[in-house]
């Protein structure tokens, strides 16, 4: 409750006086608010760090997946053929000649204005389906065929003069999609054919292989070959280790390590600025934090520690005098070409160590940094609750002061009234004595 008490009797600026007193009373709360802000800033920085460590750990675990560091690249000597290789595919090469592409059977009926043949039987390798349209209208027949699950699709094609022809197309390419129709005078316009290629053509080992589609799955183990055109000359399929993809993955991984270590270093640095009043020293958000220093140490050791007695510098991973982690992509590429086994082994070991360090630091339940963040969150909540308690306490104190000064004004008003009465009485006495003389 507010009181309008400013100087009614005393002439004092009681509002300003109360505000000044309240500023003094609020000093503990102001200090608490600063502590909340400081703790929240630290908390945000720790959460950011924790997210970065967790992301690095996930990237490390991706590199530990089977064949992650063994991608393969397949190439073809002709645009008529494409090839793809799955990770872990062994290097190899083979020549093929494409004799035939796969096709879906397409058959067309005689021209007609309506269907008069009654139920229609469509037979495929999977069995026969009888289609009985609702009426003789060609649209009804088309709808019935498409809803029958017979393995073919139907389309009505208008040919003029009020006539139309039905076109049936197999849902499956190759000879396994071949079908026959019991009525309607259907003629095959595209036969059902398998794709066909020859291996080792012109030799005593020549081999013909077929596929119901234009893709030959696992023509070589882990290699799928898709044919697009026939060829008279041999097309060479080559499979090799995909060094470019390996280098790209490792460059990204090493970059994440370097960026994270640098993030910690930047936020742990102490800066000194010189001004007219002298030098000022300011620490970073992580300055003096032993746990964050431990996180940096763990990541650095994981990245540059020896692998089988050899230094990661052999594959381009080094540490500078300032403690930064650097990666030389060209050196890694050369190491991969010269000694792929060690290069891949080194990255695997480093990824294992990084993943282990990440789990120790950032596990969502037991990570040491996660637990510290939980503690900081509890501190922020506790301090924030204390700030709220001070709000109520200060409001009560302000009310008390307002009542006190209001009472003071009332009392002084009464004293002023008494003073005025006494003055008037004294003045009256003086006047009476003067008259008697």
pLDDT digits (tens, 9 = 90+) for 340-362: 999 999 999 999 999 999 999 99
pLDDT of 292 higher than 90: yes
Give the pLDDT of residue 1: 45
Q: Sign of the C-alpha dihedral, residues 198, 202, 206, 208? A: positive
In a domain, 137, yes or no: yes
144 or 385: which leads in pLDDT: 144
Both 45 and 80 in one domain: the answer is: no
Both 361 and 289 in one domain: the answer is: yes
C-alpha to C-alpha distance for 352 and 242, rounded to whole angstroms = 22
Both 295 and 400 in one domain: the answer is: yes
Domain of 178 in residue numbering reads as: 106-190
Both 184 and 210 in one domain: the answer is: no
User: What number of H helices and E strands is found in the chain?
Assistant: 8, 19
- Strand 215-220 relative to strand 223-227, pairing: antiparallel
C-alpha to C-alpha distance for 88 and 65, rounded to whole angstroms = 11
pLDDT, average across residues 281-307: 92
pLDDT of 429 higher than 80: no
Average the pLDDT over each of 5-19, 94-108, 157-171 and give the range with the smallest value.
Answer: 5-19
Give the pLDDT of residue 419: 73
Both 253 and 368 in one domain: the answer is: yes
What is the longest distance spanned by two Cα atoms in the chain? 163
How high does pLDDT run on average in the chain?
Answer: 89
| 236 — pLDDT class (breaks 50, 70, 90) | very high
Give the pLDDT of residue 432: 58
In a domain, 436, yes or no: no
pLDDT of 431 higher than 70: no
pLDDT of 29 higher than 80: no
Chain centroid to CA 412:
72
| Residue percentage of the chain with pLDDT more than 70 | 93
Q: Which two tokens stand for residue 372?
A: 């510290």
Out of 173, 206, 241, pick the residue that ends a domain. 241
pLDDT of 3 higher than 50: no
pLDDT of 5 higher than 60: no
pLDDT, tens digit, 9 for 90 and up, residues 173-225: 999 999 999 988 899 999 999 999 999 999 999 999 999 999 999 999 999 99
C-alpha to C-alpha distance for 171 and 244, rounded to whole angstroms = 40
In a domain, 209, yes or no: yes
Both 2 and 118 in one domain: the answer is: no
- CA triplet 49, 41, 296: central angle to 5 degrees? 30
C-alpha to C-alpha distance for 353 and 357, rounded to whole angstroms = 6
Out of 151, 167, 190, pick the residue that ends a domain. 190
In a domain, 435, yes or no: no
Q: Which two tokens stand for residue 44?
A: 């945000």
In a domain, 419, yes or no: no
Both 388 and 253 in one domain: the answer is: yes
Both 152 and 31 in one domain: the answer is: no
Both 160 and 268 in one domain: the answer is: no
Reduced to 3 states (helix: H, G, I; strand: E, B; else coil), residue 263 is helix
pLDDT, tens digit, 9 for 90 and up, residues 85-144: 999 899 999 999 999 999 999 999 999 999 998 899 999 999 999 999 999 999 999 999
Which residue in this structure is represented by tokens 């990440």? 358
Both 20 and 136 in one domain: the answer is: no
In a domain, 256, yes or no: yes
The total of structural domains in the chain comes to: 3
In a domain, 214, yes or no: yes
72 or 34: which leads in pLDDT: 72
Contact 69, 202 (CB under 8 A): no
Which residues, including other chains, have CB under 8 Å from residue 296's CB and lie 6 or more apart?
261, 264, 265, 268, 323
pLDDT, average across residues 400-419: 74
Both 264 and 342 in one domain: the answer is: yes
C-alpha to C-alpha distance for 148 and 129, rounded to whole angstroms = 7
pLDDT, tens digit, 9 for 90 and up, residues 38-72: 778 888 889 999 999 999 999 999 999 988 999 99
Task: Identify which of 164, 167, 159 has the alpha carbon closest to the alpha carbon of residue 105.
Answer: 167
Give the pLDDT of residue 218: 95
Both 134 and 204 in one domain: the answer is: no
In a domain, 142, yes or no: yes
Reduced to 3 states (helix: H, G, I; strand: E, B; else coil), residue 338 is helix
């Amino acid at each position: 409750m507010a009181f309008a008490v400013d100087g009614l009797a005393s002439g004092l600026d009681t509002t300003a006086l109360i505000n000044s007193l309240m500023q003094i009373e609020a000093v503990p709360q102001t200090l608490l608010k600063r502590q909340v802000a400081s703790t929240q800033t630290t908390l945000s920085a720790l959460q950011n760090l924790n997210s970065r460590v967790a992301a690095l750990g996930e990237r490390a675990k991706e590199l530990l997946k089977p064949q992650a560091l063994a991608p393969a690249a397949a190439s073809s000597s002709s645009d008529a053929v494409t090839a793809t290789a799955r990770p872990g595919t062994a290097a190899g090469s083979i020549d093929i000649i494409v004799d035939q592409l796969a096709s879906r059977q397409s058959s067309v009926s005689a021209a007609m204005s309506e269907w008069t043949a009654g139920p229609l039987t469509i037979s495929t390798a999977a069995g026969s389906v009888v289609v009985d349209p609702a009426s003789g209208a060609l649209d009804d027949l088309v709808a019935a065929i498409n809803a029958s699950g017979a393995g073919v699709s139907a389309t009505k094609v208008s040919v003029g003069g009020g006539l139309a022809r039905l076109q049936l197309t197999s849902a499956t390419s190759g000879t396994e999609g071949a079908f026959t129709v019991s009525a309607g005078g259907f003629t095959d316009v595209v036969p059902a054919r398998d794709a066909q290629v020859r291996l080792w053509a012109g030799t005593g080992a020549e081999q013909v292989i077929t596929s119901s589609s234009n893709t030959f799955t696992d023509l070589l183990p882990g290699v799928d070959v898709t044919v697009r055109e026939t060829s008279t000359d041999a097309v060479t399929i080559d499979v090799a280790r995909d060094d470019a993809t390996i280098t790209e993955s490792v460059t990204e991984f090493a970059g994440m390590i370097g960026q994270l270590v640098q993030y910690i270093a930047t936020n742990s640095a102490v800066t000194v600025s010189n001004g007219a009043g002298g030098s000022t020293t300011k620490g970073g958000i992580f300055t003096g934090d032993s746990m964050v220093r431990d996180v940096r140490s763990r990541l650095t050791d994981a990245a540059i520690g020896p692998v089988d007695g050899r230094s990661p510098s052999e594959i381009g991973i080094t540490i500078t005098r300032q403690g930064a982690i650097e990666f030389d992509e060209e050196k890694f590429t050369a190491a991969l070409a010269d000694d792929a086994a060690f290069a891949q082994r080194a990255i695997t070991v480093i990824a294992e160590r990084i993943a282990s360090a990440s789990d120790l630091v950032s596990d969502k339940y037991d990570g040491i940094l996660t637990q510290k963040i939980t503690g900081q969150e509890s501190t922020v909540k506790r301090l924030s609750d204390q700030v709220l308690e001070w709000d109520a306490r200060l409001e009560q104190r302000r009310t008390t002061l307002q009542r006190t000064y209001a009472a003071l004004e009332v009392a002084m008003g009464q004293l002023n009234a008494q003073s005025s009465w006494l003055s008037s009485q004294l003045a009256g006495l003086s006047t009476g004595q003067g008259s008697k003389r």
